[in-house]
Structure 1
């Protein structure tokens, strides 16, 4: 049985999520955003971005024209000038047509840029996650790891990063241009405000500008003060949602085992507990959002009437016309909306910051896994033997697992590893296969010798049976006649006519069939070094012996290092490596050591 299984990432939440929710620095944010814009895609990306900005500037220009049109229309209505009214309607139709065309292509180009950025980022993160076996190492349950649910971070958080970043940046640019375009209009049409106070006469030029700045500053400060906790709550909500989804996937993947154990009640308890996390955090978000909406809606609604209240005295005194009053109201609304960018974008900012924090943690963990000190060196050499020098294994927390091992496995030799469950047998061949990083020592593998590892539970990709049989080689790498021959050898002839059938084969085949299918892969891919980690434990004894006997016949000179508990398999091996408890004098918790015993033929 495979020892020391790695815990699922989602099962252990990150420590102190409140702290992690605020950890991304400006430098980390820049490291996440910058690479795409200086990559091989930069020319297309910048061309799209500048085109979108140009279209947004065009929309602002049309809004400025509509502001003047708005003034003229109300003046025409006030004077009942019908010919001028018809002319203004034609003018509006032209502006509206151009505005609609610009709006359509602005969204279209933004979506094109978004998918380019997301695709580039996703492929880059997939490369980093899969390189140096980082996907395996960050699953080892190290203390302080951040990357719960890496699937969500690659799929959803990268999507949020690209879409929200573009929305926020383009929104900020549009608001800035709108502000500078309308603030001079508001300054010129609002005129001065004169009043007396403290025995002095005061004149405030462009007084509406100062009113709108003060109004937006107070509103933005209030929204920030109320909404600060939303970043942490959004961070936790994403984590809880991913944990719940992961639990559902686990039930689906292990449906047969759950059904046989009658474990529905326990699964429901665990899933409900994760759903309760979602509900509690969502209620916190709801309560905070309610307070935020009170502030935002009062702020937005009062902004509609505020400019008219302030301008009304000048209008009723006859200082300005109805058209100018409406122009002031529209210009005030445009400036107020531009200054309220922070308020309008606050929810998006909170979600964006939560995604940034999660990606920053994931990026740091991937880099840490890739840069992890390789204290167990697995290196190629010019010889034909597998060599082990001073190899010691430990648990991730540093506790000793296996004492120092020195060994040599000659080409074509078959080694049987045996010992009690949990002693470190599987970990030993993981280390020799260069996937276990905890411990130190050297392992030498023959240069250019293909290596293959068969775990107890075989991995079967979803797709055609031909693809599952060929894995890790690409589908179509082997002729059907060869596949059919080895299916017969591994007693799977009943699958020969299903090579093009696509299915979830890990659910469609029994454990014994899955292990026999893995042996078909061995014969097709023809490794020179083969690690078997109880790879036949689910087979009947007769089939198991047939396949072990076929290995040297079908793969002449293959080196086999296998773990098995059935003593009947010993006759297919030359040497036994037996795990025994370390001597008492080697210290408390000294783990196990390996005894080497020849197997009589």
Structure 2
């Protein structure tokens, strides 16, 4: 999508770059000036924008016309002073000239005002449109997986306004200066065709040279924008991670990182200064030569009395305005390099936002059904890029009011399952049944602390909820944050909460939101990892008292006391669902087995194993067996057993006995036929 043009590029690349640039401009400007999609801008707003644009064009035409008229008034004034020496005519012409200059002054101010008003209105609309795309369909989250889009926050905050202001500035200046050059070239032609022809061809040659300078400046401007964004982000990064840096005493390393990025920024700025110096020298010299043309050519004619002084003055006046118009046009073309850079980066952002929210073709996704319970039906979950399977053929149903604890090795996808519930990840197959997300409250390991008051922190995400200070104080008491009010000036005080609250306090504040919201379903991703066991126990007991259905991710054994079921994820994408008691028994058996192996290995092992098989056989009749226990009776791997369970297939063990998997949500065990 590059719009830079370098000197040695072939013409086809230059044409392609310009075409792409123009397509980007149309994509940004089109919906504002020519809305075609239903639900776009209101018709009255479009008419108002076009009305202001027409008013701007008319004011520019009027400005150029009055300026041209003033050149003739100036010519007559000079003739009256030098040749006629008529005082009454002098007063009359001076009065007309003064009115003309006043009109020019008013028209300049009015046209700039209208131009800035249009730019402001366009900026407001464009910012809201792109911000809506950014916040819709969780694009702000998904775009983080697009590694080629750097610093989207800076593009939103700092690079939208220059697009509209530069576009209006360039368009208005281009129209005004082209009209001025045309009008004053005609005036010069009426006085001296020779000067007019020289000015015309001189302008063409000068603009070719100006294009060369501007092409390189466009490239430098693009690099400067990127380096500014990187430098700004490095400073923001230090602020966001100030405590960690302080603990590590990493100031020197951070200074080196910031220094490298600042050095890159300086190099780009130095290159830009060097090229702008050359362009400025060329621009000033270019104007100076134009200004001297009329004197060099018409001066001898005046000295030979072949033209009058007024004509000489008007030719000099017209050439001066022509030169000024050319110079300002060249300058505007130079600054248009910034405009093209902003357009490119903004277009990249809007394209990326559209891409991340667009459903990929030829891929499978997990089907989501909204009902008043939570269940996985043969769900195979993959990473968003479809490169890794997280869990395979997962089937379970979380009963209302119960708690499910998800355990497993780090990196095995425990949090990924929560992302699937939230709809953040949907790559894979199967069906996910869940309640509407408005009825679910998510508590991550690092709580989200908003920019707002203490009242808004507690009420988030429904900050419009009405609760009295007494009720909020009671909630703080329940989560052991009763002393928090003594550190701030009440519930309506806004302070940097992430700086004054520890992680443990932030986790308790997040739990307070749960007690305020009373959600039907709660998802906790190690939401008590920074708390001591006493605080953790108190919070989970209150969670149970709310009768909410909750799913937790965690490693602490203390969490078993507050859940009824355990979902264990394994390294090979397999899983098992057991009761907390069965899981604890498995852990005990595994630990005892490991300990016995360390002590001795003797012949009694076979007898114990045989006894265990007999116990499992009897258990299959009375209680049923888990997937793990079935592996003890068969030659199948646990992955195969789970697959047969999901397909409803029976299994014959080593002794020829047949088992089937009971999918009843209250059983979920292998039973003997």
Judge same fold: TM > 0.5, yes or no. Answer: yes
Work out whether residues 377 and 442 of structure 1, in 8 Å CA contact, stay in contact via their aligned partners in 2: yes
* 2:94 aligned to which of 89, 97, 101: 89
Identify the residue that residue 556 of structure 2 maps to in structure 1: 566
Work out whether residues 74 and 97 of structure 2, in 8 Å CA contact, stay in contact via their aligned partners in 1: no
Identify the residue that residue 157 of structure 2 maps to in structure 1: 155
Identify the residue that residue 445 of structure 2 maps to in structure 1: 456
What is the CA–CA distance in structure 2 between the aligned matches of 1:123 and 1:54, rounded to whole Å? 29
TM-score (norm 2): 0.78
* 1:33 aligned to which of 29, 32, 38: 29
- Structure 2: state its 5+ residue gaps: 7-12, 36-40, 583-673
Query: Are 2:537 and 1:545 equivalent residues in the alignment?
Result: yes
What is the CA–CA distance in structure 1 between the aligned matches of 2:541 and 2:18, rounded to whole Å? 59
Deviations 1:341-380 (A, max 9, x none): 6413122210000001101111110010110428443523
Change (3 A) 1:53 1:549: same
| CA shift for structure 1 position 567 | 0.7
What is the CA–CA distance in structure 1 between the aligned matches of 2:483 and 2:440, rounded to whole Å? 29
What is the CA–CA distance in structure 2 between the aligned matches of 1:447 and 1:400, rounded to whole Å? 26
Work out whether residues 409 and 571 of structure 2, in 8 Å CA contact, stay in contact via their aligned partners in 1: no
Give 3-state SS (helix, strand or coil) of 1:581's partner: coil
| CA shift for structure 1 position 475 | 4.6
Identify the residue that residue 499 of structure 1 maps to in structure 2: 491
Work out whether residues 59 and 102 of structure 1, in 8 Å CA contact, stay in contact via their aligned partners in 2: yes
Give 3-state SS (helix, strand or coil) of 1:493's partner: coil
Deviations 1:488-514 (A, max 9, x none): 111111234621111111112111111
Aligned length: 558
Query: Are 2:587 and 1:600 equivalent residues in the alignment?
Result: no
TM-score (norm 1): 0.87
Deviations 1:169-215 (A, max 9, x none): 1112212332443333222122xxxxxxxxxxxxxxx2322211111
Deviations 1:514-556 (A, max 9, x none): 1111111112222222111111111121111111111121x32
What is the CA–CA distance in structure 1 between the aligned matches of 2:318 and 2:331, rounded to whole Å? 18
Work out whether residues 376 and 394 of structure 2, in 8 Å CA contact, stay in contact via their aligned partners in 1: no
Work out whether residues 445 and 525 of structure 2, in 8 Å CA contact, stay in contact via their aligned partners in 1: yes
What is the CA–CA distance in structure 2 between the aligned matches of 1:527 and 1:378, rounded to whole Å? 24
Change (3 A) 1:249 1:440: farther
Query: Are 2:58 and 1:54 equivalent residues in the alignment?
Result: yes
What is the CA–CA distance in structure 1 between the aligned matches of 2:172 and 2:492, rounded to whole Å? 48
- Structure 1: state its 5+ residue gaps: 1-13, 191-205, 583-591
What is the CA–CA distance in structure 2 between the aligned matches of 1:382 and 1:259, rounded to whole Å? 48
| CA shift for structure 1 position 321 | 1.0
Query: Are 2:301 and 1:314 equivalent residues in the alignment?
Result: yes
What is the CA–CA distance in structure 1 between the aligned matches of 2:413 and 2:139, rounded to whole Å? 22
Identify the residue that residue 9 of structure 2 maps to in structure 1: none
Give 3-state SS (helix, strand or coil) of 2:567's partner: strand
- Structure 1 vs Structure 2 CA RMSD: 2.5
What is the CA–CA distance in structure 2 between the aligned matches of 1:468 and 1:331, rounded to whole Å? 66
* 2:472 aligned to which of 473, 483, 487: 483
Work out whether residues 24 and 356 of structure 1, in 8 Å CA contact, stay in contact via their aligned partners in 2: no
Give 3-state SS (helix, strand or coil) of 1:463's partner: coil
Work out whether residues 405 and 565 of structure 2, in 8 Å CA contact, stay in contact via their aligned partners in 1: yes
Instruction: Summarize the alignment of residues 224-373 of structure 1 with structure 2, pairs less than 5 Å apart.
Output: 224-338=211-325, 342-373=329-360
User: Which aligned segments of 4 or more residues in structure 1 are displaced greater than 6 angstroms?
Assistant: 16-23
What is the CA–CA distance in structure 1 between the aligned matches of 2:171 and 2:313, rounded to whole Å? 30
Give 3-state SS (helix, strand or coil) of 2:522's partner: strand
Query: Are 2:415 and 1:426 equivalent residues in the alignment?
Result: yes
Identify the residue that residue 106 of structure 2 maps to in structure 1: 101
Identify the residue that residue 385 of structure 1 maps to in structure 2: 374
What is the CA–CA distance in structure 2 between the aligned matches of 1:448 and 1:284, rounded to whole Å? 52
What is the CA–CA distance in structure 2 between the aligned matches of 1:21 and 1:405, rounded to whole Å? 50
| CA shift for structure 1 position 127 | 0.5
What is the CA–CA distance in structure 1 between the aligned matches of 2:397 and 2:5, rounded to whole Å? 48
- Decide which structure has the larger Cα Rg and report it: 2
